[in-house]
Amino acid sequence: MEVLETNINACFEINPKLIYDSRGYFYESFNAARFREKTGLNIQFVQDNQSFSERGVLRGLHLQKGIHAQAKLVSVLKGKVLDVAIDLRKDSETFGQVYRTLLSEENKKQLFIPRGCAHGFVVLSETCLFFYKCDNYYHKASEAGIIYDDRDLGIDWQLAKDELIISDKDLVLPSFKDYISEYSEVN
């Protein structure tokens, strides 16, 4: 496994080592000891999630706050997405930075997103099967997020706005500035 640092502190892009033979391929999608050795992080995943989406579906930008915050290891089992992470940790030297990468069934890349970062993706293929490993359980009351088209973040989602399919819930998420202002007042 090759682990690459991103521009966000403790956010890593992971390229697994694939072993091919006449039957196809095999790879280890997660190994806790190797992950710890390569990243210095001791992560214990407790929940796996999958989502199926069609082209243009944009999910995000989501996170859970407080004691229910989640670190995630995400990958694409089928299809292709533009995957995005945003550092919302006010004490981080990379606060406010955005990282984007393509995850696909072809490249088998994974992205590790630490607690305190928002995450989202848009489906670029006809369909997509997306996989998440989480280090904390889902807790509805701790949900939070940032609006996908925030002007200050300026994320290029690689699709025209009229091609995007976004949930009603995600369309009313706050701006980056409003989220930071609200979060600062709570803490």
The per-residue DSSP string of the chain comes to: -EEEE-SSTT-EEEEPPPEEETTEEE--S--HHHHHHHHS------EEEEEEEETTBEEEEEEE-GGG---EEEEEEESEEEEEEEE--TTSTTTT-EEEEEEETTT--EEEE-TTEEEEEEE-SSEEEEEEEESS---GGGEEE--TT-TTT----SS-GGG-B--HHHHTPPPHHHHHHHHHHH-
Active-site residue, 20 included: no
Spot the catalytic one: 68, 132, 139, 183: 132
Spot the catalytic one: 62, 68, 139, 183: 62
Active-site residue, 25 included: no
What are the distances in angstroms from CA 1 to CA 33, 44, 114?
12, 18, 19
Give the catalytic positions in this structure.
62, 132
